[in-house]
Structure 1
Amino acid sequence: MPNHKNRDIWSVITIAILILYAIILIFPLFTILKESVVGGESGQFSLEYFAKFFSKKYYYGTLFNSLKVTLSVTILSAIIAIPLAYIMTTVKIKGSGFLQGLIVISMMSPPFIGAYSWILLLGRNGAITNFLKDTFNITTPDIYGFTGIVLVLTLQLTPLIFLYLMGALKSIDNSLLEAAESMGCVGYKKIIKIVVPLLIPTLLSGALLVFMRALADFGTPMLIGEGYKTIPVLIFNEFISEMGGDDAFAAAISVIVIILALTVFLIQKYVSNRKAFSMNSLNPIQAKKEKGWKNFWAHFYVYLYVALAFLPQLYVMYTAFLKTSGRIFVKGYSLDSFKMAYERGGDAIANTFMIGFSALALVILLAILIAYVTVRRRNSMTNLLDIIAMIPYIVPGSVLGIALLLSFNKPPILLSGTAFIMIIAFVIRRLPYTIRSSAANVLQISPSIEEASMSLGASNFKTFFKITLPMMLPGVISGAILSWVTIISELSTSILLYTARTKTMTVAIYSEVIRGNYGTAAALSTILSVVTIVSLIIFFKLTGKKDVSI
């Protein structure tokens, strides 16, 4: 009888979470689909908005622009990440642990801060631009447009593939590489013919994540793209227009983006399943100390990437301490920018922590329950829950923001303009991080431990709280910190949902950059970067890890 009651409790929990997802995710997505196929004047089923999109190059050109950017970023990230991961795995690099930490930090900061930093360095009045022109009379290439977007996103997203590959390389048996070398397959031939084929499933998983992030990014093309418009920028402009936005047209564009993302996701899954295989590393790859040119080029490649990825952020932090005269940086140092940041963005800082911690609390609660029922209580309902919980991976932030606004902008559920709608958005988008890490921990807990507890008279529910939950905590903490870091750096959803009372730091930074208040923007960016770094240090200390698992 007790077991039956406990099973009922977990079934009730599963049903309750499914209902919650139906309200805050499925219903908004259905609303955006409905809005896209209902004619404006007739109110009848119509594809006029899709016809409008594909009839004008101004509109469908943004789709090609986004595809051009995402494919370029994905390919370049893979090209950079493969040798980077291979070198870091096989060669002893001085300060490798510290360098990996910098790589992770560069990945976790908002992409638009990278765009802002490159404008400060290579913009029309950038530090490097002026130095090269004044000293060597060299004119640097234009950083704006397609080139700048690809540069920023490639440096920002390469660590995603790098982290995936680092984990996969640890599972390759070194005897395979030794056998290849004994047959004369050395150097880059060994990487191309042996290593890369073994990494293809993992490479595709990392590439998918890069593709989705690049496709959904709003801040980078908005800041550095100038006339080069991408789909997220078009959606934003159509939804929030000074001339009066067209909600239905923005919804139709959003549906096109979801279809594109879903298609890429399914293709990746199909190819990955075809290429999937298992590896057992009895003789794992060990990093060796190299000598001569090989050692030099290995260090040069790693250090160059880390410098390009992280130093722009350091420059932003440096400019935060420069004196300003109005909007212009002048000689000397001061804390005026931080004072101005507090005066102009103090509420944004408070909102970031208030909204962020509220979302994080819900993320932790839901992740614990979802991870447990999807691993330990496998049935048709929990399998459905597992699938629904991962949908946010393929729904861009701007699309989710529009879906929530269209769904909850009138009674009986009026949430638009409140902090609660932002909390919901953050929970939906960042919950998968904590679910995955928590589920991984549940899988490592032997069911026999729980069975032993129940054989001693403990109920199933009591066993969960007394035995299973404490053992899940490392995974929960790990995922929660990563969720927290991505929550505070969120822009694409926040920019649509915020009001003057709910503005966050990322929105404040973006607003200050647009207005040309670079000192204030740099100070707010520095505060956000410091919070990110401290959060990741806590992550490494609590988990004992030297890298981040995605």
Structure 2
Amino acid sequence: MKNNRKLSSWNVISIVILLLALLFVLYPLFLVLSKSVFNQDGFTLENFTRFFERKYFWVTLLNSFKVTIVATMLSVIIGLPLAYLLRRVKIFGSKFIQILIIVSYISPPFIGAYAWIQLLGRSGVVTKFINNTFQINFDGIYGFSGIVLVLTLQSFPLIFIYISGALKNLDNSLIEAAESLGYSNIQRVLKVVVPLIIPTILASSLLVFMRVIADFGTPMLIGEGYRTMPVLIYQQFMSEVGGDAGFAAALASIFILVTIALFLFQRIISRQFSYSMSALKPMSVQPSKGIKNILSHTLVYAVTFLAILPQLVVLYTSFLETVGGQVYTGNFSLDNYYTILFNRDVSMIINTYKMGFISIIIIIIIGIFISYLTIRKRNMINSILDTVSMLPFVIPGSVLGIALVFAFSDQPLFLTGTVTIMIISFIVRRIPYTIRSSTAIISQISPSIEEAAISLGASETKAFYKVVVPMMMPGVLAGAIMSWITILGELSSSIILYSAGTQTLSVSIYTEVIRGNFGNASAYSAILTLTSIVSLLLFFKLTGKKELSL
């Protein structure tokens, strides 16, 4: 009887969490699909017909694919050699370089877009230098090339982080054997290293692909005439929310189906290359001399500099005096910080930390339960819960924002414009990070440890809280820090859901850039960037780790 009661308590937790997932994930997405094919006259495919009949709309989907495929490929081309060099060649300051690369990744992409506008926009510093020096009319990085540049430099660190972890498990004796057979350095990489880490390349490429195709801020800021699906969905929804929400729902539905199909395709491909490695002789860093050493250092330093450049630009310009918020005088000043902290409402800063803190606490609690239930308490309910909880990973933020508006803009749950709906959005969007890392760590904890605690008189619940949870914390913290940092920079869903009382730092940065108040935007961006860096350093301090593994 006692065991049944304990089993029932876990079942109750499973059912409660599943009901919450159904309410805040599946129900809103169902409404998006429903509104795309139903109107006041009943069932209709008019919205989908409109999309495919007009080139203006379906070309946007192709644009998203072009940007995403190119940015993903370039990210691999940059991230793979960089990870290999830092694992294989002794690079001066390698630890610091790895931290800089991670910092460049955790900063929101739209901040990178804004920084590159400062450098290579029509009035950018580099643009003016090029035009004045070479007497040409360079018009800036707007459009396809600008979007790809920003998203590539923002995304390759993710490839780098994953491949660096995989190279730890690569047996160096295989590389030495290839060398003894006369393989050159490039041949050893292409014919030995790359085939062995294909599963990692595919997994990290999927993450980059999903991140790039769903990005809203970058193409919105520098895309100009080059439209992508997240921007089109946002524009259609915001302009037609009162009259033709069905078409925005149809766009969102198409995007949902495309991203889910791509995700499933990648999973199928990954299974074909699924295998594990055990490094009897791990790869070690070797000193290099001559031209090889110079080229290695030059490549690593150049790529790292380009990656971290947006953060440096933001910090630098935040201390520059401006005229009218747009024109920099070249003089250093604290006016931008004084303006945003003392002459303006600081609620957006408070909102960001308050809503983020509440969200991350809930994410940690729910993430621990979901990962434990799906690994230790396998049944049909928990399998469904596992699938539903990971669904937001492939759902673009703009689509989720629209879905939540559809679901909670009327009674009995009128949440639109409230703090609650913002927190729900943060939790739904970012909980997959914590679930993935928590699931990975609990899979490594032997069930016999729990059984030993229970055999010593501890209840199952006490064994969970006193034994399992503390052992899970390194993995939980790794996921939580990524959830926290991405919550701070969340824009794509927030730009749809926020109200005057729930505006966040990311929304403030975006609106200031749109209005041309670059000084204020830099100050807000600097605060957001420094918060992310401090969070990362705190993570290193609490866990004792020297690098971030995902």
Per the TM superposition, whether the score is higher than 0.5 is yes
Q: Deviations over 1:466-491 (max 9, x none)?
A: 22122222222222122110100100
Aligned to 1:392: 392
Aligned to 1:246: 244
Distance 1:311 1:245 in 2: 43
The answer to whether the Cα contact below 8 Å between 1:345 and 1:505 also exists between their aligned partners in 2 is no
Moved over 4 A (4+): 138-141, 242-245
Q: Deviations over 1:246-279 (max 9, x none)?
A: 2111111111111111111111111111111221
Aligned to 2:62: 64
Q: How far did 1:82 drift?
A: 1.2
For structure 2, the residue ranges without an aligned partner over 5 or more in a row are none
Residue 330 of structure 2 aligns to which amino acid in structure 1?
Answer: K
The equivalences for 1:272-351 within 5 A come to 272-327=270-325, 328-342=327-341, 343-344=343-344, 346-351=346-351
Aligned to 2:214: 216
Q: How far did 1:4 drift?
A: 2.2
The answer to whether the Cα contact below 8 Å between 1:123 and 1:129 also exists between their aligned partners in 2 is yes
The reply on whether 1:510 has 2:515 as its aligned counterpart is: no
Aligned to 1:149: 147
Distance 2:162 2:477 in 1: 20
Aligned to 1:115: 113
What RMSD, in angstroms, separates the aligned Cα atoms of the two structures? 1.4
Aligned to 1:266: 264
What TM-score do the two structures reach when normalised by structure 1? 0.97
Larger deviation, residues 517-526 vs 168-177: 168-177
- Residues 443 and 144 (structure 1), Cα distance of their counterparts in 2 relative to 1, 3 Å cut: same
Identity among equivalent positions (%) equals 53
Distance 1:301 1:544 in 2: 30
Aligned to 2:425: 425
Q: How far did 1:105 drift?
A: 0.8
Aligned to 1:414: 414
Distance 1:388 1:244 in 2: 30
- Residues 517 and 86 (structure 1), Cα distance of their counterparts in 2 relative to 1, 3 Å cut: same
SS in 2 for 1:464: helix
Q: Deviations over 1:53-89 (max 9, x none)?
A: 0000111111011011001111111111111111111
Q: Deviations over 1:489-532 (max 9, x none)?
A: 10001000000110000000000000000000000000001101
Q: How far did 1:135 drift?
A: 4.1
- Residues 300 and 532 (structure 1), Cα distance of their counterparts in 2 relative to 1, 3 Å cut: same
Q: Deviations over 1:95-153 (max 9, x none)?
A: 11111111111111110110010010011111112223334545546300000000000
Q: How far did 1:544 drift?
A: 1.8
SS in 2 for 1:344: coil
The answer to whether the Cα contact below 8 Å between 2:72 and 2:152 also exists between their aligned partners in 1 is yes
The answer to whether the Cα contact below 8 Å between 1:122 and 1:140 also exists between their aligned partners in 2 is no
Residue 256 of structure 1 aligns to which amino acid in structure 2?
Answer: I
Residue 348 of structure 2 aligns to which amino acid in structure 1?
Answer: A
Residue 266 of structure 1 aligns to which amino acid in structure 2?
Answer: L
The equivalences for 1:419-498 within 5 A come to 419-498=419-498
Distance 1:199 1:126 in 2: 40
Q: How far did 1:441 drift?
A: 2.3
The equivalences for 1:1-150 within 5 A come to 1-38=1-38, 40-42=39-41, 44-137=42-135, 139-140=137-138, 142-150=140-148
The equivalences for 1:154-193 within 5 A come to 154-193=152-191
Q: Deviations over 1:208-235 (max 9, x none)?
A: 1111111100000010011111100000
- Residues 400 and 489 (structure 1), Cα distance of their counterparts in 2 relative to 1, 3 Å cut: same
User: How many residues are aligned here?
Assistant: 548
The answer to whether the Cα contact below 8 Å between 1:71 and 1:211 also exists between their aligned partners in 2 is yes
The answer to whether the Cα contact below 8 Å between 1:85 and 1:166 also exists between their aligned partners in 2 is yes
Aligned to 1:373: 373
Distance 1:323 1:272 in 2: 52
- Residues 124 and 72 (structure 1), Cα distance of their counterparts in 2 relative to 1, 3 Å cut: same
Distance 1:183 1:397 in 2: 50
Distance 1:345 1:71 in 2: 41
What TM-score do the two structures reach when normalised by structure 2? 0.97
Q: How far did 1:459 drift?
A: 1.1
Q: How far did 1:450 drift?
A: 1.2
Distance 2:428 2:548 in 1: 21
The answer to whether the Cα contact below 8 Å between 1:237 and 1:245 also exists between their aligned partners in 2 is no
Distance 2:190 2:344 in 1: 53
Aligned to 1:203: 201
Aligned to 1:235: 233
The answer to whether the Cα contact below 8 Å between 1:371 and 1:442 also exists between their aligned partners in 2 is yes
Distance 1:476 1:58 in 2: 44
Residue 222 of structure 2 aligns to which amino acid in structure 1?
Answer: I
Q: How far did 1:462 drift?
A: 1.4
Distance 2:449 2:3 in 1: 16
SS in 2 for 1:184: coil
Distance 2:436 2:492 in 1: 23
For structure 1, the residue ranges without an aligned partner over 5 or more in a row are none
